[in-house]
Structure 1
């Protein structure tokens, strides 16, 4: 089956946050607070501290999804990442933060990479393969905008 470029599709942002690295670390690992900050993730809760968590997302069309996530990168206070599962044995996404300590500020690099599992993005390109590139770009742009919104809200809340 043609993948249309979904697996491995990636986006990311680089943002200078006016918080020290340790303060920001407490925010990015506070899974239970993402619902306060994210335009898409409305709920998060640890299932097993520092190992797995659950999350719920709500999309502009009203669709809500439930996912489980497994932490794959935990290097306090500089790297935090997780794989996202939607019921399959393979992840459909990987999210990661890299934090660079700059004293009173922290340079954040946040990234998203699509995995081989099923997702809304994959369903969209299979449904309209002639518009696959457009659908992928639209979703990646939306994710990058959501990252910036989430980081700004996190920065404001943690001051």
Structure 2
């Protein structure tokens, strides 16, 4: 796992990796199926493609509904910004030019299986976290740290569930 950034303006990131005893072509359908993601996440409640899209492709959009005990409930529109089947799937939350977050799965063949990395970046666009920072600017670093820690735990759990399914 790896973290960067302490302030929201620094576009802090979290990255977690795992090795899966399955080839990328078995892992890819799990990471690219947005409909599966709510089963793998405590925060993400539902996801649906928009504009008639049915699968990931650069420019496709999807609506996500989220729930968090401290942040409440919200929904976002995400745009697929990278999609190379078997290799990378990434999306920007909100406007791609100024996203509230960017998420990415990267798959690499390694040692007869797949090294799966999930990475995410907060900001630079405004998000619910920005509102918390606006209310308590003197606590920005703590707010960012706590959120990065939550995201790290969530990503770790998601990768473990993907690993279990891919190796089953």
Task: Compute the TM-score of the two structures, normalised by the length of structure 2.
Answer: 0.84
The answer to whether the 8 Å contact 1:17/1:105 transfers is: yes
Paired position in structure 1 for 2:45: 42
1:132 corresponds to: 140
Question: 8 Å contact 2:71–2:128 — kept in the other structure?
Answer: no
TM-score by length of 1: 0.88
Deviations 1:63-120 (A, max 9, x none): 11111110001111111100001x8973211001111112642111211112222212
Contact 2:81/2:96 (CA < 8 Å) preserved in 1?
A: no
Is contact 1:39-1:150 (8 Å) kept? Answer: no
- Aligned partner of 1:66 among 60, 75, 80: 75
CA contact (8 A) 2:15 2:117 kept: yes
Within the alignment, does 1:84 sit opposite 2:93 as a pair? yes
Q: Which residue of 2 aligns with 1:27?
A: 30
Please give the root-mean-square deviation of Cα atoms over the aligned residues, in Å: 2.0
What is the CA-CA distance between 1:27 and the residue it aligns to? 0.5
Residue pair 1:39, 1:149 contacting (<8 A) in 2 also: no
Shift of 1:156: 2.1
How many residues are treated as equivalent by the alignment?
155
Unmatched 5+ stretches in structure 2 = 1-5
Contact 1:16 1:105 in 2 (8 A): yes
Q: Is residue 154 of structure 2 the alignment partner of residue 146 of structure 1?
A: yes
The answer on whether the counterparts of 2:49 and 2:62 sit within 8 Å (CA) in structure 1 is yes
Give the equivalent residue in structure 2 for 1:155.
Answer: 163
SS at structure 2 position matched to 1:130:
helix
